[in-house]
Structure 1
Amino acid sequence: MNSNEVQKLLESSIPNSTVAAQGEGCNFQVTIVSSSFEGLSTVKRQQLVYSYLQEAIASGAIHAVTMKTLTPEQNNATN
């Protein structure tokens, strides 16, 4: 799996999302901005993302993921 595939998978799975993915091999860093994260704790956000990556993790295509999960408001505040 490559970073473009990870990006497309997450963008198609998480409504109203923008995803930036980097990495190679089976280690990836992702930043996901989505209004779907509003009202969710950091842990709940990460659990949501992992639920969409579970198949790739189970197959070994993804070994490690480092993620930032932001709402649009949080993303605007950091820019």
Structure 2
Amino acid sequence: MDNQDIKLLLIKKLKLQKAYVTGDSNHIKILVIGDIFKGISQVKRQQIVYTPLINMITQKHIHSVSIMSYTIEEWKIKNKNMDHSEYA
């Protein structure tokens, strides 16, 4: 599964507004944006994102994952101050 497939999987399963996935099978960086994260702690957000990826992780298709998650409103605020070019 490549980064585009992972991106589409996350968007579909979690009903996200946006997802950015970079890296290789050794280390994947994920930035996700959606209102699914409203009122949810960072730990729970990571658990939500891990869920659709768990088979790839346990089967060692993905070694490690870094996750940044935002609600749509949080992203509007963060986006003004954040260099997210690595996720483009």
TM-score for the superposition, normalised by structure 2: 0.83
Question: In structure 2, what is the equivalent of residue 50 of structure 1?
Answer: 50
2:72 paired residue number: 72
Q: Which residue in 2 is equivalent to 1:59?
A: 59
Moved over 2 A (4+): none
Structure (1/2) with the larger strand percentage: 1
Q: CA RMSD in A?
A: 1.1
Q: Give 3-state SS (helix, strand or coil) of 1:54's partner.
A: helix
Give, in whole Å, the separation in 2 of the partners of 1:52 and 1:69. Answer: 15
Letter in 1 for 2:42: T
Q: Contact 2:21/2:28 (CA < 8 Å) preserved in 1?
A: yes
Q: Distance in 2 between matches of 1:61 and 1:33?
A: 24
Q: CA deviation at 1:17?
A: 3.0
| Secondary structure of residue in 1 paired with 2:50 | helix
Q: Which runs of 5+ in 1 are unaligned?
A: none
Return the letter of the residue paired with 2:72. P
TM-score (norm 1): 0.92
